[in-house]
Amino acid sequence: MPMNNAPPRTIGQLGLALVCCVLLAAGVAGIQASDASAGTWAAESCSLPGGKPAPIEGWQSEADNGGPYTGANDSCPTGGLEAIDSAQWEQVRSTGAIWTYTAPAGATIAGGNLLVSLTAPQGVAYVATPKNIYGGDVLVNCQFNLGCGPSNALGGWIENASVAITHTGGTQMWAVAECVGPGQPHEADANCAQNDGAGGVNALMRISQADIELSDGSTPQGASFSGTLLDTPATGTADLNFTASEAAPGPGIYTVTVSVDGHALSTTTPDTNGGKCASLGRDANGVPEYTAQEPCPLSEQVNIPINTTGLTDGHHELTVSITDAAGVTATVYDGTITTQNAPVLVSSLGALPGPGTGTGGNGGVATSSTLGAGAANGTSVSETAQLRLGVGRRISRSFVHRAFHLTGRLLDGQGHPIGSATLDVLQQIAGATTLEIIGHAKTGTNGDFKVGVPAGPSRLIEVAYRAFSTDTTYAAEAKIEESVGAGVQINITPRHTNATGTILLTGQVDGPVPAQGVIVDLLVHYRGRWEPFRTPRTDAAGRFDVAYQFQGALGRFPFRAEVPASQADFSFTRGFSEVLDVAAN
């Protein structure tokens, strides 16, 4: 049953309505933006160079009660934004017809250019800021008592004149046509009406093309960086995930560039916003042009795959920069990554990062006071052994990439390698109280080892060394805390519908899922941010199924599913599905 009164922050505000309940429910860090300054972008109106049509975002028309002879008409691109005031004897005149341009809230008009036609044989037509022609910044005007043509004669004209917008820092601009008398602004004039021939025009203003430059103080930001590219080491094609955003009324996120050691490996536009987020070029002042006042999304969840196989193994500088539609660029991430694609040789582990955590107090080295009496475990057995791992003490991985290879080195108390030793690999799943052995590793002649850690949930992973076979305690231990994001898939049918059509969202959360299921947030990207609109609970198999009906919504709507972290008996951190678009028209 459709919901007529949707609660706050639901998809009901987006022109969508819930039509039925959940069907199966019962059954690493970013940095502040730098090297950025306020930018300027241009919004094209009415028509584009070459005559192609353009939207008229920001323009609003009004006309007084002058009847059929006064009007503000949109005839783009064949004519233009047209204001006409043609007085009649019996009419009382006021302010004629007006087209008002308003910049987005928080932005200002910074310049631009207009293609204007004016005629005023018995009236006044002008473009100015403010609205009153007799004060402020008048860009162009035509008055019957002064004329406006080349000869400055009565009944002059201006035809398709290119006019620069010289007013800057304001938020509005007016284009007006009215019938007035000399020295009587915005008042009725008998002379104007008396001289009005049948079907004649007292004042006409037409803007056939507008290039309006806008400015604000927004700079791009980046946050919540994660992904296998930040794992140690990164291998193969690794992904980088983060949130790119810009405060309103900024022009939005245009491109994201990922660079390694100063070389750009990827430059992408996360979302073209239905074609609006695509520059038309640059205007006469060198400002990037678009067909919209706010052309690009203000917030995007970015996922970029980076092929690390072309990089040398070792440490590299990773930088991420974001450029908005005004051309403002900010560096939002600057850190170090480690890559490893060549096979790990026994002689190469000396370059591995420092020690993992240990049970002892010797900088990650654990010792045992129990001397063993069984078989020696290794070529240089030691009760004061050291375990050093090739990864950090905490790692984060996606559900898809949760299995990984762990490298390290085993040394005795004097720093000599212990070869031919067998190590236990153990795990303690998040929320559990006991460790269990999940594998074993064997050291080489130089004490190094490499072991595959099978896929699992968020957990504590431990590598441990027992010096003698009969030892009741480990001589050395090294631990890693692994956080694994939840796996979730979403499917939507149909992907194209009409303004009142119904869509079905089905999905699957990867297990193990507890018997009571898990909560899933369904989100839609709307007005620059991801908005939650429904929170179903899956069944014990991890499935969910929800239907929605559009209510007059038009456009492209990106959807995705999020599994929140910290759910009871569910040992995974927050995870996201892929983004799927639905077109409503």
Residue 3 falls inside a structural domain: no
Q: What is the pLDDT of residue 136?
A: 65
Same domain, 93 and 208: yes
- Please compute the mean of the pLDDT values over residues 459-472 and round it to a whole number: 90
Same domain, 415 and 373: yes
Per residue in 24-62, is it b (16+ CB within 10 Å) or e — as a string?
beeeeebbebeebeebbbbbbbbbbeeeeebebbbbebe
pLDDT over 80 at 372, yes or no = no
Residue 455 falls inside a structural domain: yes
Q: Are 159 and 79 in contact (CB under 8 A)?
A: no
Residue 209 falls inside a structural domain: yes
Same domain, 383 and 271: no
Copy the structure tokens of residue 116.
């204007």
DSSP letter string, 418-470: --S-EEEEEEEETT----EEEEEEE--TTSEEEEEEPP-SSEEEEEEE-SBTT
Residue 32 falls inside a structural domain: no
Same domain, 326 and 314: yes
Residue 344 falls inside a structural domain: no
**Closest C-alpha among 102, 157, 106 to residue 129:** 102
CA distances from 372 to 368, 409, 570 (A): 10, 22, 40
Copy the structure tokens of residue 425.
């690999």
pLDDT over 80 at 90, yes or no = no
List pLDDT tens digits, range 382-406. 888 999 998 888 888 888 888 888 9
Cα 38 from Cα 518, distance rounded (Å): 44
Cα 146 from Cα 202, distance rounded (Å): 14
Same domain, 55 and 202: yes
Determine the straight-line distance between the first and last CA of the chain, rounded to whole angstroms.
Answer: 23
Q: What is the pLDDT of residue 491?
A: 93
Local confidence band at 332 (pLDDT 50, 70, 90 cut-offs): very high
Residue 33 falls inside a structural domain: no
pLDDT over 60 at 540, yes or no = yes
pLDDT over 90 at 331, yes or no = yes
Q: Find the radius of gyration of the CA atoms of the chain.
A: 34
DSSP letter string, 90-142: TPPP-S-EEEEEEPPTT-EEEEEEEEEEEE-SSSEEEEEESS-TTSSEEEEEE
* Type of residue at 311: L
Q: What is the pLDDT of residue 21?
A: 34
Q: CATH no. for residue 278?
A: 2.60.40.10
Same domain, 62 and 109: yes
DSSP letter string, 222-266: EEEEESGGGSSSB-SEEEEEEEEE--TTS--EEEEEEEETTEEEE
Residue 105 falls inside a structural domain: yes
- Please compute the mean of the pLDDT values over residues 204-216 and round it to a whole number: 88
Q: Are 36 and 57 in contact (CB under 8 A)?
A: no
Burial class from Cβ neighbours inside 10 Å (0-12, 13-18, 19+) for residue 417 reads: buried
Containing structural domain, residue 566: 11-26+486-584
Which of 198, 216, 234 lies at the terminal end of a domain, its last residue?
A: 216
Same domain, 307 and 389: no
Same domain, 452 and 572: no
Cα 382 from Cα 414, distance rounded (Å): 9
CA distances from 29 to 241, 277, 314, 335, 399 (A): 11, 28, 21, 9, 20
Cα 373 from Cα 153, distance rounded (Å): 117
**Closest C-alpha among 89, 38, 84, 42 to residue 64:** 84
Which of 183, 216, 249 lies at the terminal end of a domain, its last residue?
A: 216
Q: How many structural domains is the chain composed of?
A: 4
Which helix (DSSP H) or strand (DSSP E) does residue 192 occupy? helix 190-194
**Closest C-alpha among 202, 120, 212 to residue 158:** 120
Q: What is the pLDDT of residue 417?
A: 93
Same domain, 479 and 490: no
Local confidence band at 66 (pLDDT 50, 70, 90 cut-offs): low
Residue 550 falls inside a structural domain: yes
List pLDDT tens digits, range 242-264. 999 988 777 889 999 999 998 88
List pLDDT tens digits, range 181-201. 444 444 444 445 444 444 455
Which of 457, 483, 509 lies at the terminal end of a domain, its last residue?
A: 483
Cα 322 from Cα 259, distance rounded (Å): 11
Same domain, 155 and 198: yes
Q: Give a three-class secondary structure readout of 417-430.
A: ECCCCEEEEEEEEC
Same domain, 246 and 206: no
pLDDT over 70 at 375, yes or no = yes
Same domain, 304 and 388: no
Q: What is the pLDDT of residue 146?
A: 59
* Type of residue at 339: T
The structure's pTM equals: 0.51
